[in-house]
Amino acid sequence: MQRHPLCLEYIIVHEMVHLLERRHNERFRELMDGFMPGWRQHKEGLKEVPLTEEYWEE
Ligand SMILES: [Zn+2]
């Protein structure tokens, strides 16, 4: 995780957005865009981190 501080930020924002929208749908992505523009790039780094499959399924 130390190598990817932005991944941790992505996880936090992802969980915050889930408080507003439980599903990985279009509204979820719009909220992510609002909180963290460029989140799609941060998500790429998560592929190196185990136990986070939930975060890059959408
Ligand atoms: Zn999720």
Tens of pLDDT, residue by residue over 23-38, are 999 999 999 999 999 8
Confidence grade of residue 41 (pLDDT, cut at 50, 70, 90) = confident
Compute the distance from residue 37 Cα to the ligand 1 centre, in Å: 17
Confidence grade of residue 56 (pLDDT, cut at 50, 70, 90) = low
Residue 53, pLDDT above cutoff 70:
no
Compute the distance from residue 1 Cα to the ligand 1 centre, in Å: 18
Q: Between 17 and 40, where is the model more confident?
A: 17
Task: Specify burial of residue 7 (Cβ count, 10 A radius: 0-12, 13-18, 19+).
Answer: buried
For 32, how many CA atoms within 13 A lie in the half-sphere containing its CB? Answer: 25
Q: What is the Cα–Cα distance from 50 to 31, expressed in whole angstroms?
A: 25
Confidence grade of residue 16 (pLDDT, cut at 50, 70, 90) = very high
| pLDDT at 18 (0 to 100) | 94
